[in-house]
Chains A and B, each alone.
Chain A
């Protein structure tokens, strides 16, 4: 016991130089929300007040090994995952020179304008960014990111090149699936001049999504390859197995401080898979009156299932092999395929009006109301009220 105590001051002395360059920062978004009508659900909220869907707490530790090399880890607890803390980021960064950094480990892919500060609610005016664009299954990647930034005259500009792979939970035709993205390559550019900023990103990845139920269904369809022309093609066209996915994004912003307006557009495609071509965008605008920032946003998301419907259209709805069991099985496979393909159609939009109140630097209170509408099925329409606190230190 005595020895142990005696060692403490020594240990302190030995480790002090390393600890001197450690920075700890944190953020908290405590967001409560509920839908305003009985039985309505949207974005994980229902008509009972809940903190879970969007609340996030995080702690970041960054240590500088030397002038060039640093290590960053971010421990994040999300209400949607019962606040169990996960290392969402864990990477090392090497500063090649004053304009270029290379990071490796688990890091954020800069898919969107607000990707890098997605969990830092304090950094934007909403409580949560528009779901139509930002409601994606993954934001982090295991890999390498090269960040370049520079300026010329009044312009500041930058580029990021990200490589790696990612795993995430997703849903395929309504049931949970394991999304796997390999060989991800993402290239983005951004430019800012005074009140104007623009950015764009293009990414591609080998996309797979394993889902036992769906894979069994697709396998069943493929077994009819010998009997039904196009059954193999359609089965391959339904399965999400090492298919090429592409993602494109562009964002423009004007921020004159007294007022601002911004827009972002994304397009996602997975070739030869059940996942419909998805396009989404939002336009947002707001004004700043001292500590108050009232704002309004319109967002829209569309899934175009024309390719999937074409695969179904290429199949016969019934076959006559002479064996009633075989014919019946095919008929039900066809019905299932038609239903799944039709289900990929998506047309939703939402209007959000909100108010941000800056209490003090690092601390903001917000309230947002979202009118969500499903243009294909208005029984899904909902009105959502959210209130929350953003804190950063």
Chain B
């Protein structure tokens, strides 16, 4: 029985790897979940410090994308598509640029002080700063 539970917990931690939200090392903002959600949903156009923000996402179908959308944005991919459709067709905003991989996202954030992105926590290196994990 215990073995089963152990196996189950191993399995679930493997299936639900942590997501790290990353920014440029020069960015000292402290960000909580509602703030991060606003930055990714075009509701806040700047970091709390007032500097401009460029959110970046990972592509549709990436496991981290589904997890970030669910845990941080509280939306399924269908809901998020509907959300962006509304903004796009009212001229209020465009969805963030989607990058192909964790390494692309880390490279983009390391080179852009305005960037914020999420990656699989295990992929993070010291070229970026982790502001939150989920």
User: Does A72 contact B91, Cβ atoms closer than 8 Å?
Assistant: yes
Q: How far is the CA of A25 from the CA of B88 in the complex (A)?
A: 8
Q: Measured between C-beta atoms, what is the minimum distance from A201 to chain B in Å?
A: 15
User: Does B86 contact A362, Cβ atoms closer than 8 Å?
Assistant: no
Q: How far is the CA of A62 from the CA of B87 in the complex (A)?
A: 12
User: Does B91 contact A122, Cβ atoms closer than 8 Å?
Assistant: no
Q: How far is the CA of A332 from the CA of B89 in the complex (A)?
A: 52
One digit per residue, 1 when the CB lies within 8 angstroms of any chain A CB and 0 when it does not, for chain B 50-92 equals 0000000000100000000000001001111110011011111
Given A147-B92, A149-B43, A151-B44: A117 and B86 within 8 A (CB)? yes
Q: How far is the CA of A60 from the CA of B34 in the complex (A)?
A: 31
User: Does B89 contact A156, Cβ atoms closer than 8 Å?
Assistant: no
Interface residues on chain B, number (Cβ under 8 Å): 22
User: Does A25 contact B91, Cβ atoms closer than 8 Å?
Assistant: no
User: Does A151 contact B89, Cβ atoms closer than 8 Å?
Assistant: no
One digit per residue, 1 when the CB lies within 8 angstroms of any chain B CB and 0 when it does not, for chain A 55-74 equals 00010101000000010101
User: Does A108 contact B81, Cβ atoms closer than 8 Å?
Assistant: no
Partner of B85, one of A70, A91, A101, A117: A117
Partner of B86, one of A74, A98, A123: A123
Partner of B43, one of A62, A151, A392: A151
Q: Which residue of A lies closest to B81 (CB)?
A: A361
Q: How far is the CA of A149 from the CA of B41 in the complex (A)?
A: 13
Q: How far is the CA of A156 from the CA of B86 in the complex (A)?
A: 16
Q: Does A380 contact B (CB under 8 A)?
A: no
Q: Does A278 contact B (CB under 8 A)?
A: no
Q: Which residue of A lies closest to B90 (CB)?
A: A116
Q: Which residue of B lies closest to A358 (CB)?
A: B78
Q: Measured between C-beta atoms, what is the minimum distance from B63 to chain A in Å?
A: 15
CB pairs A–B below 8 angstroms (5 shown)? A91-B91, A119-B89, A120-B89, A154-B34, A392-B81
Q: With A25-B89, A122-B85, A358-B78 given, name 9 new contacts (CB 8 A).
A: A23-B88, A27-B85, A60-B89, A70-B91, A72-B91, A74-B89, A93-B91, A117-B89, A291-B78
